[in-house]
Amino acid sequence: MSATLEIRGLTKRFPLGGGDRHAYVNAADDVSFELRPGTITALVGESGSGKTTVARLIARLHDPTEGTVLFEGADVSGGLRGKGLLRYRSQVQMIFQDPFGSLNPVKTIRHHLARPLQIHRIVPRAQVEERVHELLRTVGLVPPEQIAAKYPYELSGGQRQRVAIARALAVEPKVVLADEPTSMLDVSIRIGILNLMLKLKEERELALLYVTHDLASARYVADEMLVMFAGQIVERGPTEEVLQNPLHPYTRLLLASVPDPAEGLDLQHVERRPADHVVTAEATGCRFVARCPLAIERCRQEPPALLEARPHQSARCHVTAPEPWHASA
């Protein structure tokens, strides 16, 4: 199936400040991937890896320094302003981490859902109320008549996040970017939001980007997985392949860090690294080298490229993905 959204070489540099006009941090560096209809793509990595920056670049909340975003084949990355940008934003919606900060405390739930319907002229005025109820039912908030009349403070965190999802769906988008939508919710509530994402994917053929640091939840919902480290995608492939047979040492580190009730958190085998360690932008070679147990001399000198070391599975590593699989076959 053709991609709804195609991201090519997306790069964002933020100035570091401090008087040096040439000091930058590479929040996103040459990031390329596609989002397809009816597919959930997980973007995973630790804090500061640049995953939120990528989502915000796609939503056009930041302008990219370099690279292009193609929406249904049309370039939407630069120069898109006014009506064109409004139309794009109605097609690509974002859900944020904090359901407490993303709703207006003095407005009812009805207001939050009716406004996008009116601004983007989704339905005639007479049908707005009916559509609001329909949206609330879709995200499992019933009875909709009662919920619509409530204020955000009257709802739990999980219910608020459902309202945020309903609001994103109001404009009938083709792409939804969900940035850590469950990380501020109770564990018992999270699974409900994940199930809702699966339902939306199946029923609405949405192209979903799920940004998270929780690998187990990514495995639960995602078809494809992108692993990000220090602004770069270091591994990508079908979720199950990446998680059961990871290529990149960073993916392996992330996997080892997940507490698994069945197996227990491996607290014995832990990489020792100074807590002060920072990845500098000027570093030559592989960005993961200082934390990598497999590092060889080449890693210090030459940055690895993202290579398809197994069919459909790529990694950026001199040791585990030295060449494309068809070259070695």
Establish if 17 lies at the interface with another protein (CB under 8 A): no
Choosing from 92, 139, 175, 253, the residue that interacts with another protein (CB under 8 A) is: 253
CB-wise, 75 or 186, nearer to another protein?
186
Choosing from 2, 188, 280, 328, the residue that interacts with another protein (CB under 8 A) is: 188
Q: Which helix (H) or strand (E) holds 327?
A: helix 325-328
Establish if 160 lies at the interface with another protein (CB under 8 A): no
Amino acid letter at 25?
A: V
Longest dimension (CA), the chain: 69
Establish if 292 lies at the interface with another protein (CB under 8 A): no
Establish if 215 lies at the interface with another protein (CB under 8 A): yes
Q: Footprint of another protein on residues 88-107 (CB under 8 A)?
A: none
Establish if 264 lies at the interface with another protein (CB under 8 A): yes
CB of 153 to another protein, least distance (A): 14
Establish if 190 lies at the interface with another protein (CB under 8 A): yes
Residue ranges with strand state E in the chain: 5-15, 24-35, 39-44, 66-71, 74-75, 92-95, 175-179, 207-212, 224-229, 232-238, 307-310, 313-315
Choosing from 38, 157, 303, 322, the residue that interacts with another protein (CB under 8 A) is: 157
Residues 6 or more apart in contact with residue 291 via CB below 8 angstroms:
250, 253, 271, 273, 277
CB of 47 to another protein, least distance (A): 5
CB-wise, 54 or 128, nearer to another protein?
54
Establish if 16 lies at the interface with another protein (CB under 8 A): no
CB of 195 to another protein, least distance (A): 7
Establish if 257 lies at the interface with another protein (CB under 8 A): yes
From residue 109, how far is each of 113, 135, 139, 253 by CA, in Å? Answer: 6, 11, 13, 42
* Gyration radius (Cα) of the chain, Å: 21
Q: Which residue stretch of 76-84, 89-97, 209-217, 279-287 sits at the interface with another protein (rule: CB under 8 A)?
A: 209-217
Choosing from 59, 194, 309, 319, the residue that interacts with another protein (CB under 8 A) is: 194
Q: Name the burial class of residue 88, with classes exposed (0-12), middle (13-18) and buried (19+) by CB atoms within 10 angstroms of its CB.
A: middle
- Pair of tokens at residue 114: 């009716």
Establish if 290 lies at the interface with another protein (CB under 8 A): no
SS3 readout for 63-99 = CCCEEEEEECCEECCCCCCHHHHHHHHHHEEEECCCC
d(Cα 326, Cα 144) in Å, to the nearest integer?
55
Strand order, beta sheet including 207-212: 92-95, 175-179, 207-212, 39-44, 224-229, 232-238, 313-315, 307-310
CB of 252 to another protein, least distance (A): 11
Establish if 220 lies at the interface with another protein (CB under 8 A): yes
Q: Which residues of 36-56 are buried (b: 16+ CB within 10 A; e: fewer)?
A: bbebbbbbbbeeebbbbbbbb
Choosing from 69, 242, 254, 295, the residue that interacts with another protein (CB under 8 A) is: 254
CB-wise, 75 or 266, nearer to another protein?
266
Q: Which residue stretch of 124-132, 154-162, 299-307, 312-320 sits at the interface with another protein (rule: CB under 8 A)?
A: 154-162
CB of 185 to another protein, least distance (A): 9
Establish if 242 lies at the interface with another protein (CB under 8 A): no
Q: Interface residues with another protein (CB under 8 A)?
A: 46-48, 156-158, 186-192, 194-195, 198, 213-217, 219-220, 243-244, 253-265, 267, 270, 273-276
